[in-house]
Amino acid sequence: MNLTQFEWVFQMESDGNGVILDVRTEEECNDGIIPNAINIDIYQGQVFIDKLEALDKTKNYYVYCRSGARSEKACAVMNNLGFKNAFNLLGGFLDWDGEVVSPED
């Protein structure tokens, strides 16, 4: 499901079962990440699928990439793998105006 930044943040902040998932490359993450995000690079193919399979499918996933296209695909993959709730951030990190931290924080 696609959500605007306002909807994504509002829903995530009131979600006690939410996980933020960043599907960008490591190089992109070096420019900053949304706080508490887990990075799993969608370009890793089967490794990406394997890492998704290791996640708790009962949680709600708030997914983003650079512009929203890869994260939309990631949400579709997650739905096909049995994840019930995967929410795509429309506009991605490019349009994000919330807090940003370095990946090491």
Residues marked active site are found at 65
How far are the Cα atoms of 40, 53, 58, 59, 85 from residue 80, in angstroms, in the given order? Answer: 17, 11, 14, 15, 11
**Cα–Cα distance measured from residue 30 to residue 96, given in angstroms and rounded to the nearest whole number:** 16
